[in-house]
Amino acid sequence: MKHSRKEVRERLRKTLEAGRPVIAAGAGIGLSAKFAEKGGADLVIIYNSGRYRMTGYSSLCGYLPIGDANAIVKEMGEREVLPVTRDTPVIAGVFAADPTREMAHFLRELIDLGFSGVINFPSIAWIEGELRAGLESSGLGFQREVDMIRIAGEAGLFTLAYVFTPDEAIAMAKAGVDSVVAHMGNTVGGSVGQPHAIALEAAAELIQKIVDAARKENREIIALCHGGPIAVPSDFAFILERTDVEGFVGASSMERLPVEVAIESTTKAFKALPVKGRRVPLSP
């Protein structure tokens, strides 16, 4: 791996000691990773959803059975993201409930490629109702993600965990996770984002409950947040002012939304320029 668990923790602690938030940027393509690093991102994260997001589809495609989530992340890392990142730790989104992989072996493959850490994505924790109950009773539930985080940490990888509830935060803290990420749902805005999300005030309350639960188990855990109504820097500023969170994990907010705006506005600017006229008339 490029950066050990200890090295990543030290890097993030130095960021926090300098009074700056930890920023992790999702990268669906190498270009996103390259310029997130130039912008000062502390971590670059690869998700299977990033591939769909940056081809114009919803990030939720990462939850559909239309591709091998772990194979996609491994390929994106090897061929696109790891070659263009110079010094920023790269984190792999691992689908821990995949029953076709021996997880310890897969994690060693990620280490050999140069990944410095993992995060549990896609996460069963985002699924509710009868489907969630069926997955849990079939041995394909959230416990597999907890186990993956524990194995990854023991292997020397830096670990982050998406959690949606205080109880999930406690479970991940007991597994030794380095950072909990309070997940507020799919990011709002843009062409394929959620049309609605919980209010920022409600998000702040839930984030603080998750942070408190995790730190009750381990005071050293780095607390981050992600998604839902937290789409632009001013949204994150609102959360920072009202919680003890220490950073932000952005995916759509870091690459899809900025790209949508930039490409559309640039195209419109080119299209708005006047043409003096042709010296040779077009044929009828």
In a domain, 276, yes or no: no
Q: Does residue 165 carry a pLDDT above 90? A: yes
Q: Which residues pair with 223 in a beta bridge?
A: 180
According to the model, what pLDDT value does residue 195 have?
Answer: 77
In a domain, 281, yes or no: no
Domain count, the chain: 1
pLDDT tens for 178-200 read 999 999 998 887 777 677 789 99
In a domain, 110, yes or no: yes
In a domain, 282, yes or no: no
pLDDT tens for 44-102 read 999 999 999 999 999 999 999 999 999 999 999 999 999 999 999 999 999 999 999 99
Query: What burial letters (b/e) apply to 188-211, b meaning 16+ CB within 10 Å?
Result: bbbebbbeebeebeebbebbbebb
Q: What is the rounded CA–CA span in Å between residue 206 and residue 105?
A: 35
Contact 158, 177 (CB under 8 A): no
Instruction: Give 2's pLDDT tier (boundaries 50, 70, 90).
Output: confident
Contact 96, 144 (CB under 8 A): yes
Instruction: Give 276's pLDDT tier (boundaries 50, 70, 90).
Output: confident
Q: Does residue 283 carry a pLDDT above 80? A: no
According to the model, what pLDDT value does residue 281 have?
Answer: 75
Instruction: Give 113's pLDDT tier (boundaries 50, 70, 90).
Output: very high
According to the model, what pLDDT value does residue 190 have?
Answer: 77
In a domain, 112, yes or no: yes
According to the model, what pLDDT value does residue 207 have?
Answer: 98
Instruction: Give 15's pLDDT tier (boundaries 50, 70, 90).
Output: very high
According to the model, what pLDDT value does residue 275 have?
Answer: 85
In a domain, 26, yes or no: yes
Give the CATH number of the domain where residue 201 resides: 3.20.20.70
pLDDT tens for 220-250 read 999 999 999 999 999 999 999 999 999 999 9
Q: Does residue 117 carry a pLDDT above 80? A: yes
Q: What is the rounded CA–CA span in Å between residue 7 and residue 119?
A: 17
In a domain, 284, yes or no: no
Domain that holds residue 127: 5-271
In a domain, 278, yes or no: no
